């Protein structure tokens, strides 16, 4: 597979737009690769570094893997893609199954970190966690709390990932 390097400033709008229907965050511990659908994220410059901030609920398997590996890829679809990928990766747990296999995803060798990109979601950001912050639900205003947080869902952890490589996977 060929990788075309990209400048994230030129595709930031496309990445942010893709968040609404969902993109994937992928992690790896040992030989186990796991992807999860996310709809919340932030792309920008923090500490003079390009950064993607991913929000992951505390009870997710992906959170456990991120805390062990401290690296992730952000995988963004370009054009048409199989929508069931988002359903599988967003509703199943990597604790119980191999979501990469179930979703028919093809891992692609990374450039800098240990976590692969995904051929089917070719716009790839390779990220190293430089900061981790647990959200404090007591700090949310009432509207946010009512809309997004209940006792059953739990709070998120924010993973600030420095973008160390950015490219589009091509055949």
Tens-level pLDDT at each residue, the chain (171 residues): 899 999 999 999 999 999 999 999 999 999 999 999 999 899 999 999 999 999 998 889 999 999 999 999 999 999 999 999 999 999 999 999 999 999 999 999 999 999 999 999 999 999 999 999 987 766 667 776 676 666 566 678 999 999 999 999 998
The whole-angstrom separation of Cα 58 and Cα 53 is 15
DSSP secondary structure letter of residue 121: B
**Domain limits, the chain:** 2-170
Per DSSP, helices labelled H in the chain are 8-19, 61-69, 84-91, 99-102, 142-148
What is the CATH class of 2-170?
Answer: mainly beta
Q: Are strands 49-57 and 2-5 parallel, antiparallel or unpaired?
A: unpaired
For position 72, what pLDDT does the model report? 98
Closest-CA residue to 61 (of 28, 94, 92): 94
User: HSE (CB half, 13 Å, CA atoms) of 66?
Assistant: 31
């Amino acid at each position: 597979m060929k990788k075309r390097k990209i400048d994230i400033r030129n595709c930031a709008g496309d990445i942010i737009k893709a968040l609404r229907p969902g993109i994937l965050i992928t992690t790896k511990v040992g030989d186990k690769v796991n992807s999860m659908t996310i709809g919340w994220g932030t792309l920008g410059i923090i500490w003079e570094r390009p950064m993607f901030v991913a929000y992951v609920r505390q009870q997710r398997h992906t959170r456990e893997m991120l805390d062990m590996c401290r690296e992730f890829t952000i995988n963004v679809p370009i054009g048409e893609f199989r929508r069931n990928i988002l359903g599988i990766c967003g509703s199943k747990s990597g604790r119980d199954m191999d979501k990469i296999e179930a979703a028919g995803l093809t891992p692609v060798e990374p450039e800098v970190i240990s976590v692969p990109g995904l051929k089917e979601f070719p716009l790839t950001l390779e990220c190293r966690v430089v900061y981790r912050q647990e959200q404090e639900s007591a700090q949310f205003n009432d509207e946010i709390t009512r809309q997004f947080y209940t006792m059953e869902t739990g709070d998120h952890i924010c993973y600030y990932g420095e973008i160390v490589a950015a490219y589009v996977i091509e055949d």
